[in-house]
Amino acid sequence: MPFPVSISPLAPSASIKNVAVFCASADGADPIYRAAAAEVGRALALCGVGVVYGGGRLGLMGSVAEAALDAGGRVVGVIPTLLVDLEVAHQGLTELHVTDTMHTRKAMIGARSDAFIALPGGFGTFEELFEVLAWQTLKIHSKPVLLLNTNGFYDGLLAFLDDCVAQGMLTQKRREIVLVAQTVEEALQMLGIA
């Protein structure tokens, strides 16, 4: 499937109505990750911003969705058929879209979102994060991409990106498109939501 050219850029003056949240279908070893995920969902809902995410009921994904729903928010899940049972698709969302492939899932999440926040996660989260960053460098979109660095989770990745710059594999300008927040409040402020 080609790059999702249907993702429209966010005009600098446009308000953020929906945020894609990339995160794990696991809880992680430290309860702080689950607490931060719930705080993200609740905060977005209280600001009137919809959550778009992977559609699962488990782990950090479930925490984001449940907290947003409990706070009266809109939550759109997008999950491929392959993962409906594995990630246990959340049936209580505002909308749940079941797609045929992972590529279709990511294209739909991208098209429905005005910004992207990555919480702690594994390969799937990293892949989603790096894909939207690559789309941004290719000018497929100009939407903000932010890492919520809860408990220093992304410190190693950020050091690696700095090393990529030092090694001449990544320009400093492209390195700087990765926004980094240490708290949910800071993340919302950086995105102009709070």
| Tens of each residue's pLDDT in the chain, 194 residues | 333 434 444 433 358 999 999 999 999 999 999 999 999 999 999 999 999 999 999 999 999 999 999 999 999 999 999 998 776 899 999 999 999 999 999 999 999 999 999 999 999 999 999 999 999 999 999 999 999 999 999 999 999 999 999 999 999 999 999 999 999 999 999 999 97
Residue 152's alpha-carbon distances to 19, 147, 158, 164, 189, in angstroms, are 22, 11, 10, 19, 19
Which tokens in the block code for residue 7? 């993702």
Provide the whole-model pTM. Answer: 0.92
Angle (CA) 186 26 61, round 5° = 55
Which tokens in the block code for residue 52? 């778009």
Q: Which 3 state secondary structure label does DSSP give 69? A: helix
Any idea of the CA torsion for 194, 120, 126, 77, to the nearest 10 degrees? -60
